[in-house]
Amino acid sequence: MAVAEMLKVELIAPARLKSPLLKKFQQAALIQIEESARELPHEEMSINEIDKLHTLEERLHQAIVYLKAWSGQSGFKKLLTPRPTLNKNEIETLRHDSTWLKILQTFEALKRKRDEISAQIRQLEREKALLQPLASLALPLDKVEKFKETDFICFSLGTLPLASLEALEEHLRHEPFWAGEVALMAKRIVMGVIYLKEKEYDVREVLERLGWEPYSLSEFVVSFLKKGETAAQVMKRLDQERENLARAGAEIDQEIKNLTGHLEQLMKAADIITNELRRQEAFQRLGRTQKTIYLKGWVLAENKEKLISLLQPYQQKIYLNLSQPSPEETPPIALDNPPLFRPFELITRLYGLPQPRSLDPTVYLSPFFFVFVGLAVSEAGYGLIVSLASLAALYFLKSKGGLRTFLKLLVYLGGANILFGSLVGGWFGYPWRKVLLIDPLRDPLSFLLLALVLGFLQVWFGTLLNLLQEIKKKNYSRAIFVDGGWLLLLPSLIGAGLTGHRLGWLLAGLGALGIIFFSSPARNPVARFFGGLYNLYDISRYLADVLSYSRLLALGLATSVIAMVVNTLARTAWGIPWLGWLIAGFIFIGGHLFNLGISFLGGFVHSMRLQFVEFFSKFFRAGGRPFQPLALEGKYIEFE
Amino acid sequence: MALGLTIALLGGALAVVLGGIGSAIGVGLAGQASSGVMSEDPEKFGSLLLLVALPGTQGIYGFLSAFLVILKLGLTGGSPVAVNFYQGWQILIACLPVGLTGLVSGIHQGKVCASGVYMVAKQPKDLMKPVIMAALVETYAVLGLLITILLLNGIKL
């Protein structure tokens, strides 16, 4: 029940064994491989190959994301389906099986075709929109395109701002040209203009001053249109074309949809590639010479035998050394607690893993955390709901890893509330008088006292843990006089304050002396004395720490009062004729669910803060790095 | 008599209004930040909701204090308790801790949550860390609530 013991692994093997060894290690998930690569001229595995694997992985991920969106599973159903599993023996066969690669290629070809069609459809729509202003033009478009001028007159099509229409009419009276309206757009008007060729220069100048913009058909339309077709006819044909494309697109969609049946195969392949990449990256970390590889890493001491038997077949060819880490080395951290306490590791992890050779606080914080959440929420009814819901989720979701641990923790915390809710709270706002020890609404001071006593216990216990830790580090004087001093001073001060007994004052003074003379690191005795005296001032910190636990009362009361408010409102609503029962039911269920949410959030977060700020500050230093053995880990699937 | 009741009611109103303002501003700050993040990454809705909801507790503390005042004055049953001038002031003063700590801590908790939202945008796995940071601010609203409850409990009517 502490930080798990680690052994250093050193292994030298012939280079040709690298692949089988790494594969074995990955399957066994025993060792974390450290960086020990040296600059060596000989590189067996080129970066190129890693790049290739990366690209393949990326392609698979893209295909999976796309196909998943097509598979049409709803969110809830997806949550309930367990992840597909893959036997370790199947890995090799699947890796060299080319079916999934073919599926991937088929998918990519279809996807490319689909993208092309989508692009074409978009273009057709754009072209149609561009032609829209000419829809009412009876002139065939090829005439518009070709018919620009004769020997004497010119024709041109263009748009003018609506605002310059009046000015145009004015000009029409004097200038020798004719203009005809073709269509109205939002702010401009499409016009055809015919004028004498000899006046071309003047007319153009007038038109430009009015804001004329020549209208020309796009290249696409020019190549698309047939002789004698008007704009309306071309647009109709564009529509037909678009429909054809859409139909073709739908056919491809169907083909892609058919591929979703192979989704599982792709997911397996993706995870296999990912793990192969991980192995290659581990290989990059190895030390290498032309003929040998050197591996440095860590293994859990309890897995020593497993590692040795794993390497049994290679015994003759490799050199293996397992040793205790030297004091300068920092092994990675794995927590090792009895199953009962394991869910609480979540809280330790959140703060940070302990440093090597220090204490794992999980077991020590668990009972406190359990009680604190129980007091801060203190609602047995909510506890029951949370426990049952978490149990159901554990049973149905079959989740692994972090979520599973969290759900287990919630089962505990729900249980804590069933217990403490009955003792000092209520069931959905109604206290159960028979078992009620303290009614926090009528007697908040007793509850406050309980919270402060628990707080004092935890702070004192934290100091005791620090004492034990200092002894382990062989700082005897610090452990006995300073930590011991506080451990003696704090309770005897309270005892003296309560009873006024002389012994209490005596013991408190004794503790204070230890702190005064041993807490300062200074060598000069005067500085040491005053430094120690100053450190005695820390007592205000202890006081503040203990008072901080009063939040348990406030949070517990908040839950009870809101539950009561909900009940009162529901009761009031009950009196409404006809629909009263329905409204009351809504208020009761909705109100209590809301209260459950905020009170559990508050209870959880504040109890956690009490561990982190008040408890951990006494003895715990985080800063360990997690133990992450080379292992088979799936993004989509579980490896068996 | 009526004056005492009026002052007491002002106390209850202050508790709920000041706490509510603090929470409204706080939730507003965090909500704006999270909408920005969600425009890039809509999947984060669930985890961001937690941070946005967090500064909402001050309003709830104010609300429940006001409710305690209502209960104390017997306003729900239709037969108000007689409150004299001094008792009215006592109730008003008892309401100030939760109201004022709620007002200020709600705003500041909102700021902490807003920056927490940006943190979650970059480090989605570290959701609980900004939540704990925000809880450090909330401590003072909790203490304010505690004193308000104790004071209300101690006032003799």
Token pair 């003296």 is found at A496
- State the smallest CA–CA distance between residue A454 and chain B in angstroms: 17
**Two tokens, residue A41:** 């001229």
Q: How many CB pairs below 8 A link A and B?
A: 63
Which CA distances in Å does A550 have to A28, A546, A600, B139? 49, 8, 17, 10
Which chain B residue is nearest to residue A605, measuring alpha carbons? B132
pLDDT at A45 over 60: no
Q: Cα(B130)–Cα(B116) distance, rounded to whole angstroms? A: 5
Residue with tokens 């309306």: A232
Measured between beta carbons, the chain A residues lying within 8 angstroms of B56 are 598
Mark out chain B residues that contact chain A at CB-CB < 8 A.
Answer: 50, 53-54, 56-57, 60-61, 63-64, 67-68, 76, 128-129, 131-132, 135-136, 138-139, 142-143, 145-146, 149-150, 153
Helix (H) or strand (E) holding A557: helix A551-574
Tell me the fold of A139-229: Alpha-Beta Plaits (3.30.70)
Percent of chain A predicted with pLDDT > 90: 30
pLDDT digits (tens, 9 = 90+) for A335-351: 989 999 999 999 998 88
A334 vs A4: CA distance, rounded Å: 6
What number of CA atoms fall less than 13 Å from residue B30's CA on the CB side? 31
Task: Decide: A444 and A579 in contact? Cβ < 8 Å.
Answer: no
Third-level CATH fold of A1-37+286-331: Alpha-Beta Plaits (3.30.70)
- Which residues on chain A are in Cβ contact (under 8 Å) with B153? 444
Select from B129, B135, B153 the Cβ nearest to the Cβ of A606: B135
The residue-averaged pLDDT of A506-533 equals 87
Contacts of A609 in chain B (CB under 8 A): 132, 135-136, 139
**CB proximity list for B148: less than 8 A, separation 6 or greater:** B15, B65, B68, B94, B95, B96, B97, B98
Question: ipTM value of the model?
Answer: 0.78
Joined together, the tokens standing for residue B38 give 């969600």
Quick one: which of A24, A108, A130 has its CA closest to A58?
A108
| Cβ <8 Å between A561 and B68 | yes
pLDDT at B129: 86
Chain B residues inside the 8 Å CB shell of A444: 149-150, 153
At residue B1, the pLDDT reads 61
Asked if the Cβ–Cβ distance from B53 to A444 is below 8 Å, we say: no
CB A7 within 8 A of CB A341: no
Residue type, B87: Q
- The proportion of chain A whose per-residue pLDDT surpasses 70, expressed as a percent, equals 96
Contacts of A104 (CB under 8 A, 6+ apart): A59, A60, A63, A266, A269
Q: By C-alpha distance, which of B75, B137, B134, B65 is closest to B99?
A: B65
Same fold, A1-37+286-331 and A139-229: yes
Mutate to test the interface with A, among B125, B132, B155 (most CBs of A within 10 A): B132
**A350 with B128: Cβ contact below 8 A:** yes
**pTM of the predicted protein model:** 0.78
- CA-to-CA distance for A530 and A542, rounded, in angstroms? 20
pLDDT averaged over chain A?
A: 86
pLDDT, average across residues A590-618 = 92
Q: Report the amino acid identity of residue B30.
A: A
The reply to whether residue B149 touches residue A598, judged by beta carbons under 8 angstroms, is no
A1, pLDDT greater than 50: no
Chain B residues touching A554 at Cβ < 8 A: 142-143, 145-146, 149
Q: How confident is the model at residue A42 (pLDDT cuts 50, 70, 90)?
A: very low
Q: What would the pLDDT profile of A413-449 be if each residue is shown by its tens digit?
A: 999 999 999 999 889 989 888 888 888 888 888 898 9
Contact B64 A554 (CB under 8 A): no
Torsion angle (degrees, nearest 10) of CA A320, A326, A328, A331:
60
Q: What is the mean pLDDT of residues A393-416?
A: 87
Look at B142 and A606 and tell me if their CB atoms are within 8 Å: yes
Most confident region among A165-179, A213-227, A312-326, A589-603 by mean pLDDT? A589-603
Statement: residue A399 has pLDDT above 80 = no
List the single residue in A448, A551, A565 with the smallest CB-CB distance to B142: A551
Chain A residues bordering chain B (beta-carbon distance below 8 Å) = 350, 444-445, 448, 548, 550-551, 553-555, 557-558, 561-562, 565, 568, 598, 601-602, 605-606, 608-609, 612-613
Region A47-56: mean pLDDT is 84
> Which whole-number Å values give the CA distances from A333 to A5, A133, B123, in the listed order?
9, 72, 22
Q: Would you state the pLDDT for residue A177?
A: 76
Q: Which of A109-113, A130-134, A279-283 has the highest mean pLDDT?
A: A109-113
**Nearest residue of A to residue B126, measured between CA atoms:** A350
Cα B88 to Cα B9, B19, B153, B156, distances in angstroms: 8, 20, 14, 11
Q: Which residue has the higher pLDDT, A178 or A232?
A: A232
Residue A90: CB atoms within 10 Å? 15
pLDDT in tens, B114-126: 999 999 888 887 8
pLDDT band at A391 (very low <50, low <70, confident <90, very high): very high
Which residue matches tokens 């073919």? Answer: A102
Query: Which is it for strands A622-624 and A85-86: parallel, antiparallel or unpaired?
Result: unpaired
Mean pLDDT of A610-630: 89
* B contact test, residue of A565, A595, A596 with most B CBs within 10 A: A565
Nearest to B146 among A554, A598, A602 (CB): A554
DSSP code string of A216-276: ---HHHHHHPPTT--HHHHHHHHHHHHHHHHHHHHHHHHHHHHHGGGHHHHHHHHHHHHHH
Cβ-nearest to B153 among A444, A565, A601: A444
Task: Reply yes or no on whether the pLDDT at B74 is more than 80.
Answer: yes
Give the CA-trace dihedral at A547, A549, A550, A556, to 10 degrees.
Answer: 180
What's the residue count for chain B? Answer: 157
- Domain spanning B2-154: CATH superfamily: lithium bound rotor ring of v- atpase (1.20.120.610)
The phi, psi pair for A303, rounded to 5°, reads -100, 10
Distance CA A317, CA A187 (A): 85
**Closest residue in chain A to residue B62, using alpha carbons only:** A558
Task: Enumerate the domain spans of chain A.
Answer: 1-37+286-331, 40-119+233-283, 139-229, 339-472+542-623
The lowest-confidence range among A169-178, A293-302, B5-14, B94-103 is A169-178
- CA distance, residue A333 to nearest chain B CA (Å): 19
Q: B64 and A562 in contact by Cβ < 8 A?
A: yes
What is residue A159's three-state secondary structure? Answer: strand
Mean pLDDT to the nearest integer, A301-313? 89
Question: What confidence tens digit (pLDDT) does each residue in A182-196 have?
Answer: 777 777 888 888 888
Label residue A613 by pLDDT band (50, 70, 90): confident
Least confident of A275-289, A560-574, A599-613, B91-105: A275-289
How far apart, in whole angstroms, are the C-alpha atoms of residue B59 and residue B105? 11
Q: Of the given ranges (A92-101, A143-152, A207-216, B103-112), which has the lowest mean pLDDT? A: A143-152
When pLDDT is averaged across residues B64-87 and rounded to a whole number, the result is 86
Mean pLDDT of the A188-205 span: 82
Distance CA A178, CA A156 (A): 11
**Token digits for B141?**
């609203």
Q: CA of B106: how far to CAs of B12, B22, B60, in Å?
A: 18, 4, 11
pLDDT over 90 at B14, yes or no: yes
Among B63, B146, B153, beta carbon nearest to A550: B146
The dihedral through the CA atoms of B82, B83, B84, B85 has a sign that is negative
DSSP calls for A465-518: HHHHHHHHTT-HHIIIIIIHHHHHHHHHHHHHHHH--HHHHHHHHHHHHHHHHH
A74: confidence class by pLDDT, cuts 50, 70, 90: low
The end-to-end CA distance of chain B, in Å, is 12
Q: Where are the domains of chain B?
A: 2-154
Q: What is the mean pLDDT of residues A66-79?
A: 73
Q: What is the mean pLDDT of residues A489-514?
A: 88
∠ CA A345-A348-A350, rounded to 5°: 110
CB contact under 8 A, A606 and B68: no
Partner-chain residue, chosen from B61, B129, B139, that has the shortest CB–CB distance to A558: B61
Nearest of A37, A103, A98, A22 to residue A66 by alpha carbon: A103
Contact B149 A554 (CB under 8 A): yes
**Looking at the partner chain, which of B57, B68, B128 has a beta carbon nearest the beta carbon of A602?**
B57
Q: In whole angstroms, give the CA distance from residue B113 to residue B110.
A: 5
Q: Do B64 and A350 touch (CB under 8 A)?
A: no
A333: DSSP letter: B
DSSP codes, A117-142: HHHHHHHHHHHHHHHGGGTT--S-HH
Burial A549-569 (b: 16+ CB within 10 A, else e): bbbbbbbbbbbbbbbbbbbbe
DSSP-assigned letters across all residues of A335-399:
EE--GGGGGGHHHHHHH-EEPTTS---HHHHHHHHHHHHHHHH-BHHHHHHHHHHHHHHHHHH--
Write out chain A residues lying below 8 Å of B63, CB-based.
565
Q: Is the pLDDT of residue B19 over 60?
A: yes
Asked if B149 and A601 come within 8 Å (Cβ–Cβ), the reply is no
Residue that the structure tokens 């080319």 belong to: A98
Please, which residues have CB within 8 angstroms of residue A492's CB and are 6 or more apart in sequence?
A: A503, A504, A505, A506, A507, A508, A511
What's phi and psi for A391, nearest 5 deg? -60, -45
- Closest partner residue to B145 among A445, A448, A554, by Cβ? A554
Position A40, amino acid: L
Judge whether residue A44 has pLDDT over 60: no
Beta-strand ranges (E) seen in A5-138 are 6-14, 31-33, 85-86
B66 pLDDT band (50/70/90 cuts)?
very high
Whether the CB-CB separation of A148 and A154 falls below 8 Å is answered with yes
Q: Are A18 and A280 in contact (CB under 8 A)?
A: no
- Which pLDDT value is given to residue B100? 97
Query: How far away is chain A from the Cα of B132, in angstroms, using its nearest Cα?
Result: 6
- Three-state DSSP class for residue A175: coil
Amino acid in the structure at residue A61: H
